[in-house]
Amino acid sequence: MATFVVAHGAWSAGWAWKKMHPLMAARGHALVTPTCTGLGERAHLAHPDLDLEAHVTDMLAVLACEDLTGIILVGHSYGGMVATLVAARAPDRVAALVYVDAFAPKDGESVFSLTPERRVSMGELARQHGGFIPPQAMPPDTAPDDLAWASPRRRPQPLKTFEQAARLPREPAMPRHYVYCTRHPPDDRFRQFYERARREGWRHYEIDASHNPHITCPQTLADLFDAIAIAESARQSGMSFP
């Protein structure tokens, strides 16, 4: 049994991983899906000064209060920014780091520095909405029932979470895995991180999915998480694993 802890994506929250809970339990794993301040069920705490560091603090507090160690930390999309910093600051609690179509920053990088083409348009949206970026469209292959379920729950993202640079004086030391979703539009923002994973020797995987596989193909993602858990268990036991 492995414990997976998820740092969710922008505009999203722990609720978005609802389909994954029974699937991971059926495979013998625990899945913990905290919600960052200002989003989901914590939207009433939103204010424009919320930044990346606030969300990192949220996640570190969950690990400490729940006394979680040896976890597999998952960052999805924007959550890759959060997960990278959490892993670097709590290496005694994180056994492996998994990016799911996520940002994988280096020191000094922000969401906007990694996607400069979005800075102007999203900055303007935030100025029009009191420092918050309204929810963006979900992938076009999202089923109508899933759109009806998710859309009312998605909340505006504080602009500063995209503006603030990651302070990462040292890279996370644990094994890293990158899950790349292949169904992207031409302005693919995540290929650059998949290519980095390949260059730097992380375990890397491609799945036939759009950006939210925990919603659109949860069985596929649960199977892959199970395989990652098995590989990490074998590694920790000193066994070879393909």
In what helix (H) or strand (E) does residue 176 lie, and over which residues does it extend? Answer: strand 176-181
Q: Is residue 241 part of a domain?
A: no
pLDDT (0 to 100) of residue 240: 54
Rounded CA gap, 52 and 40, in Å? 16
DSSP state of 44: G
pLDDT (0 to 100) of residue 176: 98
pLDDT (0 to 100) of residue 158: 98
pLDDT (0 to 100) of residue 174: 96
Q: Mean pLDDT per 10-residue run, the chain (242 residues)?
A: 98 98 98 98 98 98 98 98 98 98 98 94 95 96 98 98 96 96 89 97 97 98 98 82 48
- What crossing angle do the helices spanning 79-89 and 52-65 adopt, rounded to 10°? 50
Rounded CA gap, 103 and 82, in Å? 9
Q: Is residue 163 part of a domain?
A: yes
Q: What is the pTM of this model?
A: 0.96
Q: Is residue 130 part of a domain?
A: yes
State both tokens at 58.
Answer: 């949220």
**Count of domains in the chain?**
1
CATH code where residue 90 lies? 3.40.50.1820
Contact between 79 and 102 (Cβ < 8 Å): yes
pLDDT (0 to 100) of residue 119: 92
Q: Is residue 194 part of a domain?
A: yes
Tokens 């799945």 label which residue? 207
pLDDT (0 to 100) of residue 186: 77
pLDDT (0 to 100) of residue 187: 77
Residues spanned by the domain of 53 = 3-235
Backbone phi, then psi, for 72, in 5-degree steps? Answer: -100, 110
Q: Is residue 206 part of a domain?
A: yes
Q: Is residue 211 part of a domain?
A: yes
Angstrom CA distances, 66 to 3, 145, 215, stand at 12, 34, 26
Contact between 210 and 142 (Cβ < 8 Å): yes
Q: Is residue 69 part of a domain?
A: yes
Q: By C-alpha distance, which of 102, 138, 97 is closest to 225?
A: 97
Q: Is residue 242 part of a domain?
A: no
Rounded CA gap, 10 and 34, in Å? 13
Contact between 48 and 186 (Cβ < 8 Å): no
